């Protein structure tokens, strides 16, 4: 987990008072942050791009900038030495990634300043024009939100905090810039309106951050610049790249890679233009709201930006408070606490939340930066934090139970022991896959009894698997250059659509065992002998019969029926399938159902049990 450092001096400045370090660290831990330690760090600044680097006292000073790639013969100049609180970065709470956000939370928890935080946004004066081609697959980065922020002339500690928060949000929300990335610019260097468009790899040149004297094309940036090389994979499939430029053609940035040098934020900058671009609407909005909330804690004043695309316009940001309904009796039951009505309202105010309603039903308002609140239990967690986990009575549970494995898991464990004893190596594949890998490559046609994911996060995970064969074939592909023979097995669940299933999802799950052998001389006889050995160890008997299956060679495939109602399929994999998976040697494969789970019902016990 990445570690972030919060300067104690800057934290005290934002709190408006000095708090004993012991009390400060105790409060931070009670808020749910994982405290690494309190240490002293030296802060260095890159002479090229102005980026800051922090090193612990015992560590050497940097000579190379990770932001721009600048290298110096001598160590970078020392800017300051700070005492910092080092925390494990908490992905669920990006609003605590910097000193401003942490100070806001501490103020509430210590009752310095309580209640819902509300933010005002001034009307839009700046326009951003968006090219609709950014919605196309060859340049896909369609979402953009923007804001203008007026701040007091930026000092070194504020600039450091801003740059660190930007990178932490890239990691915590943007998944290392894939889902969202942030650009911050000195507005005084920009002439509106701003255009967000797609450009060719050689269409123009600009000076990337840290390289004021070297103009580069977008392609050259991806091939030569340190940031370009680090994030080139995000654009490698694109024919055109996203780009922000002003009305005079001056480039602001090439998201999600690098800003231009001319528009960078410097000490003394007081007018900021901020954009967040990305591939998911929610993550783009979360990143902007979190960043703006921290800037407003540092006396920033936000103005909206009008975004125009294909004749329609909208203004961003939207910093309105959200709301969620909860029941106090439910909260008491969940937490096991008899919270009084007065403490209920005061505790939520300490967590910077608003409360409205009458017992027992309340509407809880939360600020725009609380991107983690999705369900009433998130409010219950805030109640527990405000009450204090350290104040809860740790009573023993009055009744004791002894856990045991579910029957189907016991069967799965027996299957594993059998396969390991037969010299096979276990693999594990994902439950989610694609139709191409699960059907097309195996010469199968998609059936009606497989489960589709309605809104998949990734195109690579859009169906739930209904067999284990594709996972094993994928393992063979990844190990195709290893010595032969190779023997792999997997024990896992598959999901089948079944309208007769007695549940609201109309699906049933089966626990299956699949195993495969790749070797220059493997075939049906070898895989049959292994399956016979498995049946013997399980105490099962099956009836074999010839079977035609598109994934196997005709005449070298069989189906097995079992008294339990389960079945197995085995054979030599068809050459077309081998070619689809890039395999050059013969493959034999078998798959059988060993257990079925429908609710709490189970079938599939061996005769010995």
How far is the C-alpha of 184 from the C-alpha of 181, rounded, in Å? 10
CATH classification at residue 65: 3.30.56.10
Give the pLDDT score at 608. Answer: 35
Looking at the fold, whether 103 and 161 belong to one and the same domain comes out as: no
Q: Which of 70, 87, 109 is the last residue of a domain?
A: 109
pLDDT (tens digit, 9 = 90+) per residue, 65-80? 877 777 888 888 888 8
CATH classification at residue 592: 3.30.930.10
pLDDT of residue 602 exceeding 50, the answer is: no
Looking at the fold, whether 68 and 168 belong to one and the same domain comes out as: no
Whether residue 280 contacts residue 180, with contact meaning beta carbons closer than 8 Å, is answered with: yes
pLDDT band at 1 (very low <50, low <70, confident <90, very high): low
CATH classification at residue 277: 3.50.40.10
395 belongs to a structural domain: no
pLDDT of residue 49 exceeding 80, the answer is: no
Angstrom CA distances, 16 to 27, 80, 100, 159, 497, stand at: 16, 21, 12, 19, 60
399 belongs to a structural domain: no
Mean pLDDT value across residues 461-484: 92
Give the pLDDT score at 451. Answer: 79
pLDDT of residue 151 exceeding 70, the answer is: yes
pLDDT (tens digit, 9 = 90+) per residue, 165-183? 999 999 889 999 999 999 9
396 belongs to a structural domain: no
Mean pLDDT value across residues 463-484: 92
The per-residue pLDDT of the chain, averaged, comes to 90
Within 8 A by CB and 6+ apart from 182, the residues are 166, 169, 170, 174, 274, 275, 276, 287, 288, 291
Looking at the fold, whether 149 and 131 belong to one and the same domain comes out as: yes
Q: Which of 62, 78, 109 is the last residue of a domain?
A: 109
Looking at the fold, whether 535 and 417 belong to one and the same domain comes out as: yes
575 — phi, psi (to 5°)?
-55, -35
Give the pLDDT score at 449. Answer: 67
pLDDT band at 502 (very low <50, low <70, confident <90, very high): low
Looking at the fold, whether 240 and 183 belong to one and the same domain comes out as: yes
pLDDT of residue 2 exceeding 80, the answer is: no
Looking at the fold, whether 215 and 304 belong to one and the same domain comes out as: yes
523 belongs to a structural domain: yes
116 belongs to a structural domain: no
437 belongs to a structural domain: yes
Tell me how many domains the chain contains. 4
Give the pLDDT score at 311. Answer: 87
Looking at the fold, whether 202 and 285 belong to one and the same domain comes out as: yes
pLDDT of residue 147 exceeding 80, the answer is: yes
Looking at the fold, whether 423 and 536 belong to one and the same domain comes out as: yes
Between residues 597 and 514, the one the model is more confident about:
514
Q: Which of 32-36, 264-268, 492-496 has the lowest mean pLDDT?
A: 32-36
Between residues 574 and 2, the one the model is more confident about:
574
pLDDT band at 499 (very low <50, low <70, confident <90, very high): confident
pLDDT (tens digit, 9 = 90+) per residue, 81-106? 888 898 887 778 899 989 999 999 99
Give the pLDDT score at 607. Answer: 34
Interior angle at CA 447, CA 442 and CA 448, nearest 5: 160
pLDDT of residue 606 exceeding 50, the answer is: no
User: What's the DSSP call for residue 67?
Assistant: T
How far is the C-alpha of 519 from the C-alpha of 530, rounded, in Å? 15
In Å, the largest CA–CA distance within the chain is 83
Give the pLDDT score at 394. Answer: 78
Looking at the fold, whether 466 and 553 belong to one and the same domain comes out as: yes
Give the pLDDT score at 600. Answer: 40
pLDDT of residue 604 exceeding 80, the answer is: no
Mean pLDDT value across residues 358-376: 94
Give the pLDDT score at 456. Answer: 74
398 belongs to a structural domain: no
pLDDT of residue 601 exceeding 50, the answer is: no
pLDDT of residue 435 exceeding 70, the answer is: yes
User: Helices in 351-395 by DSSP H: which ranges?
Assistant: 376-387
Looking at the fold, whether 299 and 432 belong to one and the same domain comes out as: no
How far is the C-alpha of 111 from the C-alpha of 85, rounded, in Å? 21
Range of the domain at 224: 121-316
Looking at the fold, whether 239 and 138 belong to one and the same domain comes out as: yes
300 — phi, psi (to 5°)?
-75, 145
pLDDT of residue 586 exceeding 70, the answer is: yes
131 belongs to a structural domain: yes
pLDDT (tens digit, 9 = 90+) per residue, 225-248? 989 999 999 998 899 999 999 999
Q: Within 13 Å, how many C-alpha atoms sit on residue 473's CB side?
A: 34
pLDDT of residue 609 exceeding 70, the answer is: no
Q: Which of 338, 358, 389 is the last residue of a domain?
A: 389
Looking at the fold, whether 331 and 356 belong to one and the same domain comes out as: yes
pLDDT of residue 338 exceeding 80, the answer is: yes
Mean pLDDT value across residues 297-320: 94
Mean pLDDT value across residues 345-367: 95
pLDDT (tens digit, 9 = 90+) per residue, 520-558? 999 999 999 999 999 999 999 989 999 999 999 999 999
């Amino acid at each position: 987990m990445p570690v972030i450092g919060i300067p104690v001096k800057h934290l005290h400045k934002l709190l408006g008072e000095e708090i004993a370090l012991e009390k400060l660290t105790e409060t931070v831990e009670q808020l749910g942050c994982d405290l690494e330690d309190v240490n002293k760090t030296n802060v260095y600044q890159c002479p090229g791009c102005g980026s800051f680097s922090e090193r612990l006292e015992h560590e050497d000073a940097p000579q190379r900038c990770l932001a721009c790639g600048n290298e110096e013969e001598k160590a970078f100049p020392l800017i300051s030495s700070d005492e910092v609180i080092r925390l494990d970065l908490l992905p669920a709470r990006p609003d605590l990634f910097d000193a401003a956000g942490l100070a806001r939370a501490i103020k509430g928890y210590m009752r310095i300043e309580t209640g819902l935080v509300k933010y005002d946004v001034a009307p839009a004066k700046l326009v951003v024009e968006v090219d609709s081609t950014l919605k196309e697959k060859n340049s896909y980065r369609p979402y953009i939100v923007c804001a203008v922020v007026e701040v007091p002339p930026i000092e070194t500690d504020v600039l450091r905090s801003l740059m660190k928060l930007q990178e932490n949000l890239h990691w915590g929300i943007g998944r290392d810039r894939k889902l969202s990335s942030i650009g911050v610019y000195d507005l005084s260097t920009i002439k509106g309106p701003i255009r967000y468009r797609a450009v060719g790899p050689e269409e123009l040149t600009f000076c990337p951050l840290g390289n004021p004297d070297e103009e580069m094309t977008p392609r050259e940036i991806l091939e030569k610049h340190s940031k370009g090389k680090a994030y080139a994979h995000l654009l490698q499939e694109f024919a055109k790249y996203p780009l922000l430029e002003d009305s005079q053609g001056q480039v602001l940035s090439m998201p999600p890679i690098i800003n231009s040098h001319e528009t960078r934020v410097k000490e003394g900058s007081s007018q900021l233009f901020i954009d967040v671009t990305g591939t998911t609407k929610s993550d783009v909005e979360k990143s902007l709201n979190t960043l703006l909330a921290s800037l407003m804690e540092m006396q920033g004043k936000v103005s909206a930006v009008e975004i125009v695309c294909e004749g329609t316009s909208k203004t961003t940001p939207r910093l309105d408070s959200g709301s969620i309904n909860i029941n106090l009796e439910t909260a008491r039951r969940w937490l096991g606490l008899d919270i009084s009505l007065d403490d209920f309202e005061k505790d939520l105010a300490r967590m910077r939340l608003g409360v409205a309603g009458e017992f027992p039903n309340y509407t809880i308002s939360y600020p725009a930066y609380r991107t983690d609140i999705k369900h009433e239990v998130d409010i219950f967690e805030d109640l527990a934090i405000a009450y204090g986990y350290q104040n809860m009575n740790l009573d023993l549970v009055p009744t004791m139970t002894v856990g045991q494995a579910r029957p189907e898991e016991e069967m799965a464990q027996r299957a594993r022991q059998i396969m390991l004893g037969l010299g096979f190596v276990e693999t594990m594949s994902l439950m989610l896959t694609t139709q191409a890998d699960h059907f097309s490559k195996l010469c199968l046609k998609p059936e009606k009894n497989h489960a589709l994911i309605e809104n998949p996060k990734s195109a690579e995970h859009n169906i739930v698997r209904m067999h284990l064969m594709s996972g094993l074939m994928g393992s063979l592909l990844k190990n195709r250059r290893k010595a032969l023979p190779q023997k792999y097995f997997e024990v896992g669940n598959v999901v089948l659509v079944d309208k007769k299933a007695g549940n609201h999802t109309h699906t049933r799950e089966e626990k299956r065992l699949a195993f495969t052998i790749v070797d220059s001389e493997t075939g049906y006889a070898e895989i049959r002998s292994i399956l016979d050995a498995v049946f013997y160890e399980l105490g099962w008997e099956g009836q074999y019969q010839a079977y035609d299956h598109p994934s196997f060679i005709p005449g070298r495939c069989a189906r097995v029926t079992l008294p339990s109602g389960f079945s197995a399929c085995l054979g030599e994999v068809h050459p077309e399938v081998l070619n689809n998976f890039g395999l050059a040697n013969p493959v034999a494969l078998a798959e059988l159902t060993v257990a079925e789970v429908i609710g709490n019902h189970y079938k599939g016990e061996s005769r010995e049990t």
